[in-house]
Amino acid sequence: MAVTLKEVAERAGVSRSAVSRTFTDGASVSAKTREKVEKAAKALGYKPSLIARSLATNRTKLIGLVANNFQNPAFLDVFDLFTSELQKRGFRPLLVNLSGDTSPKKFVELLRQYSVDGVIVATSTLPTSFANAFQTAGIPVIHTFGKYQANANVHVVGIDNEHCGSMAARTFKERGYRKVALLGGPESATSTKDRVVGFLRTAKELELDVVAKGFAENYTYKAGREAMSELLADASIEAVFCGDDLICMGAMDAVRAAGKKIPEEIGFLGFNDIAMAGWDAYSLTTIRQPIRDIIMSSVELVVGMVENPDRSPEIRLFPCTIVDRGSLKPVDRSGN
């Protein structure tokens, strides 16, 4: 039988409320009482009930983690970091897989049933209205990898995707490419839309010829390979910017299957810098997204919002960098 709070109180010679306060973060209890309670609890093997504590404090220590990209290796790292960082701070993650259903009403009600203290929406494939729905319901929310907006209504942590698209175009110009292509992730994703805008704008400024443009249905190897097979209808492509490393790896294998060499005939630039990007089979030059920084910041914000739900919306953007490997030609130093 589990040891009860009443038994600890009797052994320590204190009230049950004193035992409850001893095991409640921030509650007032004297050092003498705390010592007596902790000694009695240790002797009896008492473990405080998280459920009982949540009833007393009106907090569950649950954070909803909402996403829809479980099939992508990049997001396995994301979930690992999120869960470990939340647990370090005494919170527990409640994973929610959207599975193609993007109706916010259903998931707002689901997470309200579990009385979560906050929500992290960890995906770029949802409209900003999805995260806003949690805020409207009175649930503290962070949109991680969300779309940058100067007048955002919710906290957003991520990167400037337009700038990353521009970075890709400038990288192609530095390497001497002239006829380039774009292979984005799902066309509905806000990150894809922004990267396309940045890439096309800068390509025009630099007088690059964007000869082909396509989108993968999802963030998978198969989708990348299929989409690239269609882009190969244009034989003039010299380099391709892919909106995700896994998509890019599928695209690279489609090019190899067509008998073309990388980077001699077609160069590739990926996005994210997942572990596989460094494998010898791909040696993928890619744009690294600072995943750890984004997640640490998101966790810090959501925990802070539990204490201060009325905190004004904040935008935190982190810089990306190029990781140079072997899928692009070296930088063109000729000045041509």
Pair 143, 119: CB distance under 8 Å: no
Phi and psi torsions of 86, nearest 5°: -65, -45
Give the confidence band of 220 by pLDDT, cuts at 50, 70, 90. Answer: very high
Pair 139, 174: CB distance under 8 Å: no
285-301 pLDDT, tens digit per residue, is 999 999 999 999 999 99
Q: Which tokens sit at 290?
A: 């600072």
Please give the helix or strand (H or E) that residue 82 lies within, else none.
Answer: helix 73-88
Q: Which residues pair with 141 in a beta bridge?
A: 119
Q: Token pair 């040696």 is at which residue? A: 283
Q: At what angle do helices 104-113 and 128-136 cross, to 10 degrees?
A: 40
Dihedral, 177, 285, 186, 153 alpha carbons, nearest 10: -110
Whether the pLDDT of residue 336 is over 70: the answer is no
Amino acid at 308: N
All structural domains of the chain, each given as residue ranges with its CATH number in brackets, are: 5-57 (1.10.260.40), 62-159+291-320 (3.40.50.2300), 161-288 (3.40.50.2300)
Q: What is the pLDDT of residue 69?
A: 74
Cβ burial of 29 (10 Å; 0-12, 13-18, 19+) is: middle
167-207 pLDDT, tens digit per residue, is 999 999 999 999 999 999 999 888 999 999 999 999 999 99
Phi and psi torsions of 179, nearest 5°: -105, 110
Cα distances from 22 to residues 29, 30, 110, in angstroms, run 6, 9, 32
